[in-house]
């Protein structure tokens, strides 16, 4: 195994529903679990040995880590996290992944769709504290699935270097916020943010669409980093 | 002789290039067996222990890695 990666037993110390199919699950092991914002872990989700990857969405006290789990897909990973209870143990492999913020990026455009917000949230949280200019654009389908908006607005009030936009694709006339897709929102600020590092996370199809769109709109390939589910 | 390398392992791994997305998890888990580039190559069937090779296969999000022990398929079950 590569250096820094290990197999650990961790305890579920907190499990709570965020909204709809989204759960917040906090894991804690006996030893320090060192990771960089943007990395993921592979969790054993069946007795048979099947594993699923989950991005780390938060650092918790006493070296814990938090996962944002979307049980919407309904597969073996979803069933595992729906059924697991606080106090139970899980087998975690990690941390893994290179979807981390490059030091050389002086400003960041963070684009997330759906549960792709998990690694983006912790990256944003850490980078705005370092003073980097950060623009978060989060695309969701329905208003009822949205969470963390209050928190992101609070960050915006506290940090002048942070800009946040939520865009919903399936909303009725009563929705007063931005509607459409993440590209519609990013397009309006692209000239100003073009030299930034672009970090994109979401479903495979969406990430590929967004990447193609960025490149066709003049963003250099080396400035784009992506994580697909 | 490389002390870190198992001398001879039982498990043989196969990568389905049609399923592999090149995420690199297998290389993280069994870095002396897999090399992920434009395609995922098996560089040394005995590069890592059987346990690590099985873990790499189980960790593949696309289920693109098969593990065999002789004629018996060990993974996926």
Q: What is the DSSP string of A75-99?
A: SHHHHHHHH--TT-EEEEEEEE---
Are A44 and A51 in contact by the 8 Å Cβ rule? The answer is yes
Domain presence at residue A1:
no
Which of A96, A126, A146 is where one domain is finished?
A96
Are A80 and A46 in contact by the 8 Å Cβ rule? The answer is yes
Domain presence at residue B6:
no
Domain with A14, as residue range(s), is 6-96
The Cα–Cα gap between A168 and A44 comes to: 33
Residues A148, A88 within the same domain = no
Domain with B53, as residue range(s), is 12-62
Residues composing chain A? 229
Residues A47, A124 within the same domain = no
Residues A167, A142 within the same domain = yes
Interface touch A93/B77, C-beta < 8 Å: no
Could you say which of B27, B59, B77 has the minimum Cβ distance to residue A93?
B59
Residues A39, A111 within the same domain = no
Q: Which of B19, B52, B58, B76 to mutate to test the interface with A (most CBs of A within 10 A)?
A: B58
The Cα–Cα gap between A225 and A31 comes to: 31
Domain presence at residue B33:
yes
The Cα of A67 is separated from the nearest Cα of chain B by a number of Å equal to: 17
The Cα of B72 is separated from the nearest Cα of chain A by a number of Å equal to: 16
Interface touch A93/B29, C-beta < 8 Å: yes
Domain presence at residue A145:
yes
Q: Which of B11, B21, B27, B28 to mutate to test the interface with A (most CBs of A within 10 A)?
A: B28
Residues of B in contact with A1 (CB under 8 A): 28-31, 52
Tell me the two tokens of residue A126.
Answer: 């850490």
pLDDT in tens, A74-108: 999 999 999 999 999 999 999 999 999 999 999 99
Give the pLDDT confidence score for residue A61 in this predicted structure: 77
Residues A124, A87 within the same domain = no
Interface touch A51/B58, C-beta < 8 Å: yes
Domain presence at residue A211:
yes
Interface touch A93/B55, C-beta < 8 Å: yes
Residues A113, A138 within the same domain = yes
Residue of chain A with shortest Cα separation from B5 = A1
Give the pLDDT confidence score for residue B1 in this predicted structure: 46
> Above 90 in pLDDT, residue B8?
no
Give the pLDDT confidence score for residue B5 in this predicted structure: 66
Residues of A in contact with B75 (CB under 8 A): 49
The Cα–Cα gap between A71 and A50 comes to: 16
Could you say which of A2, A44, A50 has the minimum Cβ distance to residue B31?
A2
Closest CA to A73 of A89, A94, A53: A53
Please identify among residues 70-89 of chain A the ones whose CB lies closer than 8 Å to any CB of chain B: none
Domain presence at residue A64:
yes
Report the predicted TM-score, pTM, of the whole model to 2 decimal places.
Answer: 0.91
Beta strands in chain A (DSSP E): 6-19, 22-28, 40-44, 51-60, 64-70, 89-96, 107-113, 133-140, 162-168, 178-179, 197-202, 224-228
Give the pLDDT confidence score for residue B4 in this predicted structure: 63
Whole-number average pLDDT of chain B: 91
The Cα–Cα gap between A20 and A84 comes to: 17
Q: Which of B55, B56, B62 to mutate to test the interface with A (most CBs of A within 10 A)?
A: B55
Residues A78, A21 within the same domain = yes
Domain presence at residue B32:
yes
pLDDT in tens, A184-198: 999 999 999 989 999
Domain presence at residue B30:
yes
Give the pLDDT confidence score for residue B61 in this predicted structure: 87
Give the pLDDT confidence score for residue B6 in this predicted structure: 66
Q: CB contact, 8 Å: A13 with chain B?
A: no
Number of domains chain B is built from: 1
Residue of chain B with shortest Cα separation from A40 = B25
DSSP state of A40: E
Are A57 and A68 in contact by the 8 Å Cβ rule? The answer is yes
> Could you report the predicted ipTM of this complex, rounded to two decimals?
0.83
Tell me the two tokens of residue A186.
Answer: 């990013």
Mean pLDDT by 10 residues, chain A (229 residues): 92 95 94 91 95 94 89 94 97 95 96 96 97 97 94 97 97 93 97 96 94 96 92
Are A204 and A229 in contact by the 8 Å Cβ rule? The answer is yes
CATH of the domain at B57: 3.30.70.20
Whether omega for the bond prior to residue A155 falls within 30 degrees of 0, making it cis, is no
Residue B3 pLDDT grade (very low, low, confident, very high; cuts 50, 70, 90): low
Cβ–Cβ contacts within 10 Å for residue B68, how many? 14
Give the pLDDT confidence score for residue A30 in this predicted structure: 85
Give the pLDDT confidence score for residue A154 in this predicted structure: 98
Please identify among residues 199-228 of chain A the ones whose CB lies closer than 8 Å to any CB of chain B: 204, 228
């Amino acid at each position: 195994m590569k250096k820094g990666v290990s197999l650990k037993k961790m305890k579920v110390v907190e499990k709570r529903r965020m909204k709809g199919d989204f759960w917040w699950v906090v894991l804690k092991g006996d030893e320090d679990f060192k990771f960089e914002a943007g990395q993921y872990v592979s969790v054993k989700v069946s007795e048979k040995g099947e594993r699923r990857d989950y991005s780390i969405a938060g650092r918790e006290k006493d070296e814990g880590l938090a996962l944002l789990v979307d049980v919407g897909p309904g597969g073996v990973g979803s069933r595992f996290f729906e059924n697991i209870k606080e106090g139970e143990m899980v087998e975690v492999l990690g941390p893994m992944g290179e979807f981390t913020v490059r030091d050389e990026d002086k400003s960041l455009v963070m684009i997330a769709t759906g549960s792709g917000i998990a690694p983006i949230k912790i990256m944003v949280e850490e980078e705005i504290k370092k003073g980097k200019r950060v623009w978060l654009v989060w695309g969701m389908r329905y208003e009822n699935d949205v969470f963390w908006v209050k928190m992101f607005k609070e960050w915006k009030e506290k940090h002048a270097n942070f800009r946040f936009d939520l865009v919903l694709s399936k909303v009725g006339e009563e929705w007063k916020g931005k509607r459409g897709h993440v590209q519609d929102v990013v397009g309006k600020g692209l000239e100003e943010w073009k030299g930034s590092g672009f970090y994109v996370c979401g479903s495979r199809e969406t990430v590929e669409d967004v990447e193609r769109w960025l490149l066709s709109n003049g963003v250099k390939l080396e400035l784009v980093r992506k994580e697909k589910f | 002789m490389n002390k870190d390398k198992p001398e001879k392992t039982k498990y043989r791994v196969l990568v389905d290039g049609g399923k592999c997305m090149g995420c690199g998890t297998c290389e993280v888990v069994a870095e002396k067996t897999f090399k992920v580039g434009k395609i995922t190559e098996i560089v040394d069937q005995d590069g890592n222990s059987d346990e690590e090779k099985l873990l790499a296969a189980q960790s593949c999000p696309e289920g693109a890695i098969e593990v065999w022990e002789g004629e018996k398929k060990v993974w996926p079950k």
